[in-house]
Every structure is written in structure tokens, then in C-alpha cells.
Structure 1
Amino acid sequence: MTLAYIGVGSNLERHQHIQASYQELLKVSNHLRCSAVYECQPVGFDSHAFYNLVIEIETSLSLLELQQRLKQIELKWGRAKDAQKLQDRTLDLDILLFGEQVSIDNPVLPRSDIFNYEFVLKPLYQLNPYLVLPDDCRTVAKVWQQFEKKGSLTVVEFKFTP
């Protein structure tokens, strides 16, 4: 089993799609831990606010199998096949970490979003602050400590149902 961290985001029908991501990931893993759900404004474009969180899973899937499964879930829940960066999302699922794996190919691991976006780093910090990031040698807590916090995240009351 591999411990993986999935970044989850939605800014269209947010509650429905965040709940759907949880239910779909329950089909991939029987071990799920969720960070709090955070609301934040989109980065790089003007639109509706996003809900973001990180979900920790244990999976027997390979990295490629997990990546394909996440893509299928996104498409099932209305993401356009030709979706571009900097646009609205029904559901965005990104592999942030996959065990100790490091990759410079698709998907890049650890995902650079961990180091660039508070809406990724803060929920990851909440789930596992002492996790050592592969190929970086710092803990998530150390990255969080050194991160320039903008304070733009708001915790959202959210109850996940299986």
C-alpha cells in the first residue's frame, strides 16, 4: 500500500463536487483522511471562490493507475476534457505526493503546488506536519514555517457523508 495525498478543488457547485470527490475516493481506498475544507479566491483569474482540501489515501494502485482513476472521476463529474489552467472547475484532483516517489515527468512529484499555494500547503500541514517531502528533505511543517502566508483561506463547515 502506498500513502498518497490528493489535492481537491472546485469552484462550481462546490459542495456537491467536494462531497463527490470524497465518495469517489472511498472507491479507491478504504483509508481516507481529510483536511478541513478551505475557501479561497481563484489565483490568476477572476471567478467564483474555490473550496480546497487535501485527502490522504492508502492505495494499492500504481501511480499511473491512480492518475487515470482521478482523471475518470474528474470527467464523470463534469470537467471538460480540454480544461485549461486558470478557469472554473467542477472538480480538480491532483496527486501531490505518492509515497516517496519523485518524478520530473507527468505527474511531477512532489507537485510544485505544495511549495507555491497556501490552499495546498495548509491542508497538507494540517494532515501530516512531520511528513518529510521526497527530494526536498524538509518536513511539511518546515515548508509551512518558511512559507509567506497570505491569510486568504477561510475554513468552511463541511460534513462528509459516505
Structure 2
Amino acid sequence: MERVYIGLGSNLAEPAEQLRSAVAALGQLPHTRLVGVSAFYQSDSLLPGQPRYTNAVAALDTDLTPLTLLDALQAIENDQGRERLERWGPRTLDLDILLFGDRLIDEPRLKVPHYQLQERAFVLYPLAELAPQDLRLADGRTLTDLLAACPFVGLERLPTD
């Protein structure tokens, strides 16, 4: 099994509940074990005029191939009412494969490590809750270096239930 990190985000239809439902669905994926989930964080949308996002990261161990996992994640998004009307629009649920073991993946449908990982505090800080301190990405960057270059600005760690 390979360790995979999934970014979760929502800014519509009770975002925290959307994330809790998504975590439950991740735990039901075949040939996959849910290892952990970070705290939930709130952040402003990257685009003005949208509601704030609630984000988290989940760690999975899986035997699924990257594209099979991507298909399963998109099915979970669809089951939770995701509409793909615009690339950066508001959404009930967004599930992104951030890291897939130590793989570099450059497919038309999937880029791993996630292509904007280094710019997103709302992904890096929840990831740091789950990943080993010395995590090195397949492209050679370390999580420690990414965190140092991406300050904890605009994030609010939500209290746990």
C-alpha cells in the first residue's frame, strides 16, 4: 500500500459537514485504509466574492492506482453535489490528490505533487499535522521548506468537535 494525502475543501452547503461526509466516504473506499485526518481550517476564497472555505487533509494507505483513486474521489464529489460549472467557482466538495507515495505523476488528468501545493497554506499546514517531519516530495522539495516559504496567514484552525 502507498501513503496518499488528499486535500479536502468546501465552501457551500454546510462546508464542515461536507468534509465530515467526505472523510466517511474515504474510509469506505475499496483497497484503502483511512489513516488520519487533520483539523479543519477556514480560509478566504482565492477569488473575491465567494464564501470562506473549510479545508482539511486526509492520509490514506491504498492499493488503488492513481487514476482509479482520482475516479473514486470524483465520484465522492459528485455524490455530494459537486457541479463543475467553472474552474475556480464555489463548490460543495473538492478532493485533490496532493501526494501519492513518492511518485511524480504528470498525466493529462492528474499532476502529483499537486501543482499548487507550495502556494497554499490551507493545504500545507493541515498536511504537516499528518506527514512525517522530514517528508520529502518526489520532486525533492521538503515539507519543512514549503512551510517556511508559505506563512500561516489568513488561516483559522477550527476547534475540534
Match runs of 1:1-162 below 5 Å: 1-12=1-12, 13-28=14-29, 29-80=32-83, 82-105=84-107, 106-128=109-131, 129-135=133-139, 137-147=140-150, 149=151, 151-159=153-161
Contact 2:77 2:94 in 1 (8 A): yes
CA shift, 1:103, in A, is 1.8
Contact 2:35 2:59 in 1 (8 A): yes
What per-residue deviation string (whole Å, max 9, x for no partner) do you get for residues 35-80 of structure 1? 1110011002321111001111001111111000000000000001
For residues 67 and 55 of structure 2, the distance between their equivalents in structure 1, rounded to whole angstroms, comes to 23
How high is the sequence identity, in percent, across the aligned residues?
31
Q: Which stretch of the first structure deviates more once superposed, 88-97 or 106-115?
A: 106-115
What 5-or-longer segments of structure 1 have no aligned partner? none
For residues 95 and 138 of structure 1, the distance between their equivalents in structure 2, rounded to whole angstroms, comes to 17
CA shift, 1:30, in A, is 2.6
For residues 49 and 73 of structure 1, the distance between their equivalents in structure 2, rounded to whole angstroms, comes to 21
Q: TM-score, normalised by structure 2?
A: 0.91
Q: Which stretch of the first structure deviates more once superposed, 42-51 or 18-27?
A: 42-51
Equivalent pairs counted in the alignment come to 156
CA shift, 1:21, in A, is 0.8
CA shift, 1:150, in A, is 5.2
CA shift, 1:90, in A, is 0.3
Aligned-residue CA RMSD (Å): 1.3
Contact 1:45 1:87 in 2 (8 A): no
Contact 1:6 1:93 in 2 (8 A): yes
For residues 104 and 31 of structure 1, the distance between their equivalents in structure 2, rounded to whole angstroms, comes to 25
Following TM superposition, the consecutive aligned residue runs of length 4 or more in structure 1 with deviations greater than 4 angstroms are: none
For residues 6 and 145 of structure 1, the distance between their equivalents in structure 2, rounded to whole angstroms, comes to 21
What 5-or-longer segments of structure 2 have no aligned partner? none
User: What SS is found at the alignment partner of 1:8?
Assistant: strand
Output the amino acid matched with 1:130: D
For residues 66 and 144 of structure 2, the distance between their equivalents in structure 1, rounded to whole angstroms, comes to 25
Contact 1:113 1:120 in 2 (8 A): no
